[in-house]
């Protein structure tokens, strides 16, 4: 199916979705690691609008935005297991929840991670409200789409690892087994998949990165 290249960073949770998808589909690809402090001219050429990773290059043609890339991979390499369901209503529903994850869940967690005091308490309430919605989505299911792994597991996958590191480095407690039993059970099922298990970035490196992220945001807010 041609030449596949992935522009990513070692830590991006959005890029990790694509790594998982490519590996699960058994697609050979080359990785190009970007330094976001000094973006390559190729990244700027291939993603001139957002200038972000991930970018997938397939036979020289760029595809940007992780959710778009996931769908592209699923449609292009469609002989093996499909990520998205066949039924149009189920597909639309999956896209709705993917958007909810990216626009609401992730952004509320990132905000709680870099805030302090009352602002952090308020931010935490917003995260918990979103996580309750995610918890309900998992009612009666092993994975987000049912018995088998699918598109939404790739989308919500960051919760299985990044979330606890953001909690640890942000001084907040969000997910525990009592409050979120279904997310906790899903997390275990998800992390047991070999491709997922083998692809997480180095834990200590991520902790250092998240500590720096929090310090950076707090000191810039204090400098205002």
Ligand X SMILES: N[C@@H](CCC(=O)N[C@@H](CS)C(=O)NCC(=O)O)C(=O)O
Buried b (16+ CB within 10 A) or exposed e, 185-219: ebbeebeebeebeeeebeeeebeebbeebbeebee
Q: How many CB atoms lie within 10 A of CB 99?
A: 12
As a whole number of angstroms, the distance between CA 211 and CA 168 comes to 9
**CB-CB contact of 11 with 64 (8 Å):** no
Q: Residue 65 Cβ, how far from ligand X at the closest point, in Å?
A: 5
121 versus 202: smaller Cβ distance to ligand X: 202
Nearest to 141 by CA among 81, 201, 97, 80: 97
Give the number of other Cβ atoms within 10 Å of residue 82's Cβ. Answer: 15
Residue numbers 7-36 binding ligand X by CB under 6 A: 9, 12, 14, 36
Closest contact distance (angstroms) between CB of 50 and ligand X is 7
By beta-carbon proximity to ligand X, the closer residue of 23 and 39 is: 39
Nearer to ligand X, 98 or 135 (CB): 98
Q: x/- site string to ligand X, residues 38 to 67, per CB under 6 A?
A: -------------xxxx----------xxx
Q: How far is the CB of 161 from ligand X (least distance, A)?
A: 14
User: In angstroms, how far is CA 214 from the centroid of its own chain?
Assistant: 19
Question: Tokens for 45?
Answer: 């050429």
In the bound state with ligand X, the residue whose beta carbon lies nearer, of 93 and 107, is 107
Interface with ligand X in residues 63-122 (CB under 6 A) = 65-67
Site for ligand X contains 203 (CB under 6 A): no
Residue 152 contacts by C-beta under 8 Å, 6 or more apart in sequence? Answer: 94, 97, 98, 101, 143, 144, 145
CB of 217 to ligand X, least distance (A): 14
Judged by CB, which is closer to ligand X: 36, or 191?
36
> What is the binding site for ligand X (CB under 6 A)?
9, 12, 14, 36, 51-54, 65-67
């Amino acid at each position: 199916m041609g030449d596949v290249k992935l522009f990513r960073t070692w830590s991006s949770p959005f890029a990790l979705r694509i790594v998982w998808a490519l590996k699960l589909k058994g697609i050979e690809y080359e990785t190009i690691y970007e330094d976001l402090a000094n973006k390559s001219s190729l990244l700027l050429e291939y993603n001139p609008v957002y200038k972000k990773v991930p970018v997938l290059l397939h036979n020289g043609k760029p595809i940007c935005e992780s959710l778009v890339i996931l769908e592209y991979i699923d449609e292009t390499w469609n002989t093996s297991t499909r990520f998205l369901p066949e039924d149009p209503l189920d597909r639309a529903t999956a896209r709705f929840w993917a958007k909810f994850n990216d626009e609401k869940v992730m952004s509320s967690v990132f905000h709680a991670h870099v805030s302090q005091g009352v602002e952090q308490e308020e931010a935490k309430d917003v995260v918990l409200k979103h996580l309750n919605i995610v918890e309900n989505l998992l009612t009666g299911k092993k994975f987000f789409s049912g018995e088998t792994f699918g598109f939404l597991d790739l989308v919500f996958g960051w919760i299985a690892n990044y979330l606890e590191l953001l909690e640890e480095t942000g001084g907040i407690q969000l997910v525990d087994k009592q409050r979120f039993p279904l997310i906790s059970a899903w997390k275990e099922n998800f992390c047991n998949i070999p491709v997922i298990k083998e692809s997480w970035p180095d834990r200590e490196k991520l902790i250092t990165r998240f500590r720096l992220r929090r310090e950076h945001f707090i000191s810039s807010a204090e400098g205002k």
